[in-house]
Each structure stands twice: as structure tokens, then as C-alpha cells.
Chains A and B, each alone.
Chain A
Amino acid sequence: MHDMSAHAAQHHAPPTSFIRKHVFSLDHKVIGKQYYALALIAALCGMMLSWFMRIHLAWNNAAIPGLQLLSKNGAPGGVMTPEYYLQLMTMHGTIMVFFVLTTAPFAAFGNFFLPIQVGAEDMPFPRFNMMSFWVTCTGFVVLMASFFVSDGPTLGGWTQYAPLNAVGPVGGPGQGTGVVLWAASIALFCVGQLLGSLNFIPTTLDLRTKGMSLMRLPLSAWAWFITSCMGLTAFAVLMPACILVILDHVAGTSFFVASNLVMNDQLLPHSGGSTLLWQHLFWFFGHPEVYIAIVPGIGIVSHILITNMRKPMLSHRVLIYSMGALAVLSYMVYGHHMFVSGMNPFSSLAFSFPTLVITIPSTIVVLIWTFSLYGSKLRINSASLFALGFISMFVSGGVSGFFLAQPSIDIMLHATYFVVGHFHLVMGVAAMFGIFGGTYFWFPKMTGRMMNETLGKIHFWFSFVGAYCIFMPFHYLGMAGNVRRYSTFVDDFLQPLIPVHRFITVAALITGAAQLVFLYNLIHSRFWGKPAPDNPWEATSLEWSTPTPPPFDNFGGKLPVVYHDPYQYGVQSSAGDYVMQASPEQVKTEHEEK
């Protein structure tokens, strides 16, 4: 028999050298922190790029000091060219979607906390786990390297539509080496995430400690598990697509470039490729990617809210089933990104219907949150504020999705700022709020120190108000016909909208600056923060049963036994109004859900 809890023998011995401890570490907690650091660096890069773009959009001829150092040709004298604007936009999207929104909530927090929450000593394949991080990190380096090749990074957008992604340098700056580096980077990222799924799924299914049934897993663990299943399917499809793009570039194949294509007065040598093929392959990954970014946030936010509400959600099971439904449906809706692609109109209808259906589990999740919050005495702290902010952003961004789900309306809005506002709120800002909430909540466990609450609340209010000031006007711009992906707005009908762009830019600069408060808080608290107790939030799940920060093998050589559902709050116990999962104390509760 496979005695899981009795064998306390570690998968690998504690490291002694600096390299093994901090660089090529096999410890899931160190790897989680490495992912977090990578996401933080990526987020700073992505935010800087958005600042550059916003300044350019508001004041077209403004010279941005130092930008010429990044690209002499792309920003002569600090004023960016239209092509360079597109290059920065592409890099902003790619960095944020892949290396921040996927990396932080899933790979960083998941790596650190999933094994602890299931009651395991580590992931089952620590070496693959280490490889997962370093391959992802290499992908980031390869992507950033494209800034330093002769004509800079690709300008094709984070979606890299064909045929532009495969025509080569004739397509414009960055369409040669830049695209190859982009595709190589994303292929590496896919490998990294597949290796991550290889660890996350068996950890959840096979390494649960004694008494930890699937329904006793915290919602965050469920979210990471569901996300890893989604990643397994999505990244395994994107990787071959990237390989085919690279082959079109370096081997002269014709997967994506159509026959007789003339670009810049040159007849391209390719023949017969399918431009729609790329869109199908990309969006089969691309739409689930939205949920890969947001489902961990749903789990994290639920975990935080329950702890601060001091009562479980209305239904633990329904929340889990809703996250599962989101995952399954996310594969059936991807065509709604292609309503204007020339796809068969009947296909549009087929994709429109599940797009409307997917709002049902989303709505159920929001209703469960809302009605669970109703009447609760919520403890207000930075983590719970960001959790509330997450719900607000998720709803605000989600509502505009109803409009875009209908092909007849989407045709009008597709190429406008309405879409930019929609996905930034529902996917970008909401996921970022999940990351921030998770950081304030788990920082004490990760580092052994508390973050500054006052700075956290300042950070929240600037971010919350700032995000609405930036992204709500985007919807207005879109309805006014403001096209996206343009670097300047010279048409007459767009002139009255420029003051709105200036307002957005000022809001973006202020909101971005507020993130420096977070950065200061993070670094200062890491070294000089108040020492954290083992369970500062009086929470119940297993990560709070271990010492702070957790020892190398998570539970000091003896795996815990789980006696309770994950969220036993509002009970009478020796600890107070809660009983921890690993506590053998028997309490009566009305919340036990079987």
C-alpha cells in the first residue's frame, strides 16, 4: 500500500548551497517566489510601456525622455513612430497576458500554496517544477531580447494575426526576427506551463493528505487545479501554432500566408496558406487564457473573503462547479473573437450562444459572493478590499461582455476602444486585484513579516478609483467610434475625443505611480515589516497550520491530518470563532456542507 501520510521521508533533502537554495531550487515555495519576482519585473516593464503609449496618445509630438535609448529608429528624439507605438503595444499585451496575469496568480501563488493547502511536502516532480520556472524565465528573456535586435520587437499585437505574423521583414519593423523571438518565447512559455500542469494536477489528485477529500480542498486550491487543467489543454495547442509560425519564417513553409500576396510592392514567395487557421489555433488557446488568468483570482478572492467574512460561502460546491463550468465553456466560445474575421456567419451564431451561456456560471459566482457578503461583518483590510475590488471589476468588465457576445453589435464595436475597456477591466484589472489581494493575504506566510496596512489601503483606493478612471472612459470612446491600435487620431470626428484620452493618460500616470507605493510596501515589509504570527488572519486552511514561514518540508516532518471542511467559521471552539482543518477538536456547526 502507498502510505502517504506516514512516510515523512522528503522527496529531496534540504539544500545547503546558495545556488540550490535560491537559484536552481527544487523547493516549491522558492519556485513560487521566483515566479512572483518574475511577474513583478514583467508587470513593471508592462506598466512602463503602457505609460509610454498613453503619453504618446494624449500628446502626439511629446518627446519621452530616454525612449530614444530603447530604440533610436523607433523613437528618434524620444518621439515614437507609429510603428514603434504598435511594437510597444504588442510587447505590453504579451508581457501582461503571459508573464503577469498567468504567472502571478497561477504559477506563483499556486506553486507556493497548493502543496501546503493539500497537505503535501512538495510537488511530485520538483525537478520538472524547477525546469518549469527556468523555461518560463528564459521565455521572458527571449521576448525582451527582441527590444535589442536591429528592427525591434514585433508589431503584430499580442494575437499575432496571420498573414502579418509570417510574411517576414517586408511586413514592417519587427516582423522578421521580432516575430521569431516572440513565437519562440511563447513556445517556451507553453512548455513551462505544461510542466507546471504536470505538477499541479497530480499534486491535487494524488498528494492530498489523510482526510483531505476533494471537497475539503480550499477554493483557491480548486481554482489552481481547474486552471492547470485548462492550461494543459490550451498551451498544448498554442505551442504547435508557434512552431508553425517559426517554420514559415525560417524554413520557408506556407502554413499561414496566402497565395499571391503582395506587400510593399513585393510578391511574397509563399503559397496557399490559411490566415484563418492561425486565428482558430490562437483563439482556441486565447479564450481559455482569459479564464486561466481570472479563475485563480476567483479562487483567491473567495478564500480571502470567507476568511474575513468569518463564514463560508453560500455554497462551496456550487462555486466549484461554476469554476469548472467556466473552464469547460471557455473552449466553446473562442469564435466570438472572430466574428469579423470572415468566418461563416452560422459559425458566429454557434459561438455566440455559448458566449451568452458562459455568463451564467459567472453570474452564479458573483451572486454567491454578493449574498454571502450580505449581512456579514466583513473585516476590512487590504486583502479584503482588493477582493471586493476584484468583484467590482469583474462585474463592470463582464457586463460589457454581454454586448460583445452578439455578432451584430460586435461588428460595430470590435475594432474600437470598447473592447479595450472590456478586457482590461474583466481580465487585466480584476486579475491584478486578485494578485494584490493574494499578496496582502499571504505575504505574512511567505515572508514571515506583515505588510503595512495603511499603505495597503492607500494603494487600494488609488488603484480602485484610478482603474475606473482609466478604463470606463474607454467604453465611451469605443461607442463614439474611436478605433483602437492607432497611434494618432487625425480624423475630424476623433478630435473632440482627445481630451478624454488626456484624462485617461493622467489617470494612468497617477494610478501607475500608486503602484510604487505597493512596491515600497512590499520591499520595506520584506525586510523591516512587523514579524508575522503563524495565523494572523485566524484562518482555517492548512497553510496557516504550519510555522511562518513554512519549513523546508512544509509541516516539520509530520504531515497533517484533516478533520474538517475548509471553512469552519462562526463556530464555538477553543481557538475562537473558527476551527482549523487540522484541528481534531469536534465542533457543532451549521455550515458543514456534505
Chain B
Amino acid sequence: MATSVHEPPQIDQDRLLEQRRSGSGGWRDLVPANGDLHVTLEHSPPASSSAIYVVLFAITMMFAAFSSALIVRKGSSLDWQTFTLPSILYFNTLILLASSVTLEVSRRRVAAFMGGLRSHAESPARWLYITLFLGLLFVAGQYAAWSQLRAQGLYLATNPSSSFFYVLTATHALHVLGGLGGMIYVIRKLSKLALRRNALDATARYWHFMGVLWLYLLCLLWMKL
């Protein structure tokens, strides 16, 4: 069963020995070692550990499509107008990066809590709340950036450059909101002491990916707009 916060993980030394001895090896290879079922290994990770990579791959492909559309669209016409990115975007970037740090702090505290080194759930939950707040602040900051552009008369349909700016940032913000949903799920489970470690790990990977994706988008927008 997956590890939960009220059930500290236990390392089965015999299993580990078998795992090293069997040689049936290979990544998630569940073949009975030497045809002997008694030494069959069960080291398949929980489902969500690969599922999160499926999600991240799909998002990568989606933004790759948008990026290539931007590059082709810019290269194929003469109507592209450049504009200066709203300065608040850089502040938002710092906020998002900071949220990754606070989430990592939280994850370590949860791990310590699961390992029995801490006795209360409040401390990791507090850092999760801080991460949640920073995530919301990022989305609010993005909204402020859109408002700044609107104040300059740059709307979605004004120019292809502004179209791509809104499309890319809005799609990213929607994904960030999805990550915040995951964060709320984790906080709720933590408060009930029923959090699966891999749920937290998956949420953290998703969140860090949002940060990396935003850095990429910022570079793309900075270079192309």
C-alpha cells in the first residue's frame, strides 16, 4: 500500500535483499527471477508516479504546438508588431520561483513527519498554504499584466504578437490554477492525515514544471515579442 502520513514507511530488508539477488532486474520488470515465483519482485511504483509524466508530456506538446505556431506566424508575415512586456511579469516570475522553494520546504517537512521525526501536521501544512498563496498571487499578477496591456490598447485581436501573448499566458495560468487545485487536494488530505506520498510528489513535480514552463515562456515572449 502507498505510504500515508499516519503510517510511517517501513523498509522490508528481506525484499531489498531479494531484489538485489534476483537479477530479474530492469526497470519495473516483474518477471519471476529464474522462473521461480518465490523471488518475484513487486517493486512497481504506484500508478501516479508515471501518470504525472504523462500529464507533463501532454502539456509540453501543447506548448510546443503554440510555440511553433508563434514562430511560423511571426516568420510568415509583415504585420508583426513588437511591444515591451509588462514589467510585473518579472515580479510574477520571482513569486512563482519562490513558490517552488516553499513547496520543496513543505515536502521535506512532510517527509520528516512521515518518518516520525515530527509529530504535527501543522508545520508542513503551513508551508503548503504559503505556496498556495504565492500561486494565487502569481495568477493575480498575470491578470495585472493583462490589465496593463489593455490599458495600452493591446487586446487579444490587436496584433498577432498580443494574440500569442494572451493565448500563451492564459493557457499557462489555467494550468497553474490546475496545480493550485492539486495543492488544495494535498492540503485537504494532509489535514485528514490520509495523504499519499506520491500524491504530494506528483503535485510538487507538476508545480516545479509550471515554474520551468513559465521561464521558457518568458524567454520566448521576451525574444519574439
Contact = CB atoms under 8 A, between A and B. Distances in A.
B32 A5 contact: no
Contacts of B163: 247, 253-255
Interface residues of A, number: 55
Nearest to A258: B77
A139 B29 CA distance: 38
Nearest to B15: A1
B51 to A, nearest CB: 4
A259 B73 CA distance: 12
B77 A211 contact: no
Interface in B56-92: 57-59, 61-62, 64-66, 68-69, 72-73, 76-80
A381 to B, nearest CB: 33
Contacts of B193: none
A277 B30 contact: no
B69 A272 contact: no
Contacts of A589: none
B191 interface: no
Contact of A202 (B30, B51, B69): B51
A388 B48 CA distance: 39
Contacts of A7: 1
B45 interface: yes
A420 interface: no
A516 interface: no
Given A3-B1, A198-B54, A206-B28, A124 B156 contact: no
Contacts of A280: 68, 72
Contacts of B141: none
Contacts, number: 152
Interface string A187-206: 00000001001100111011
A207 interface: yes
Interface stretch (B35-43, B94-102, B131-139, B178-186): B35-43
A395 B1 CA distance: 48
A124 B48 contact: yes
B130 to A, nearest CB: 29
Contacts of A239: 62
B160 A255 contact: yes
Contacts of B51: 124-125, 198, 201-202
Given A1-B42, A211-B37, A233-B61, A255 B50 contact: no
B47 A211 contact: no
A271 B79 CA distance: 7
A320 B126 CA distance: 49
A272 B47 contact: no
Contacts of B219: none
Interface residues of B, number: 46
A214 B31 CA distance: 9
B73 A3 contact: no
Contact of B44 (A194, A208, A258, A276): A208
A240 B62 contact: yes
A3 B73 CA distance: 51
A272 B77 contact: yes
A366 B12 CA distance: 48
B65 A281 contact: yes
B157 A252 contact: yes
B167 interface: yes
B55 interface: yes
A98 to B, nearest CB: 18
B80 A272 contact: yes
Nearest to A213: B31
Contacts of B80: 272
A197 B1 contact: no
Contacts of B15: 1
A254 B54 CA distance: 32
Contact of B42 (A5, A194, A247, A281): A5
A3 B29 contact: no
Interface string B1-12: 110000000001
Interface in A201-228: 201-203, 205-214, 216
B78 A272 contact: yes
Which residue among A237, A240, A252, A255 has the maximum number of chain B CB atoms within 10 Å of its CB? A240
B24 to A, nearest CB: 8
B73 A205 contact: no
Interface in A505-536: none
Contacts of A244: 69, 167
B63 to A, nearest CB: 8
Nearest to A274: B76
Contact of B47 (A124, A210, A258, A584): A124
Contacts of A197: 54, 58
Contact of A240 (B37, B47, B69): B69
Given A237-B61, A253-B156, A211 B32 contact: yes
A2 interface: yes
Contacts of A240: 62, 65-66, 69, 171
B23 interface: no
B49 interface: yes
Given A2-B44, A201-B51, A206-B45, A212 B30 contact: yes
Interface string A42-59: 000000000000000000
B46 interface: yes
B29 A213 contact: yes
Which residue among B12, B31, B37, B72 has the maximum number of chain A CB atoms within 10 Å of its CB? B31
A277 B69 contact: yes
B61 A236 contact: yes
A1 B12 contact: yes
A4 B80 CA distance: 56
A241 interface: yes
Contact of A272 (B12, B29, B30, B160): B160
A243 interface: yes
A125 B47 contact: yes
A287 to B, nearest CB: 15
Contacts of A258: 77
B93 to A, nearest CB: 23
Contacts of A211: 30-32, 37, 40
B43 A273 contact: no
Contacts of B69: 240-241, 244, 255, 277, 281
Given A205-B28, A213-B31, 14 more contacts: A1-B15, A2-B2, A2-B43, A3-B1, A125-B51, A201-B54, A202-B50, A206-B47, A207-B44, A241-B65, A253-B160, A255-B163, A277-B69, A280-B68
7 contacts: A2-B42, A207-B44, A210-B30, A210-B40, A239-B62, A255-B163, A274-B76
Interface of A: 1-7, 124-125, 194, 197-198, 201-203, 205-214, 216, 232-233, 236-237, 239-241, 243-244, 247, 251-255, 258-259, 271-274, 276-277, 280-281, 284, 561, 563, 584
- Top 4 nearest A-B pairs (CB, nearest first) are A124-B47, A272-B77, A236-B61, A272-B79
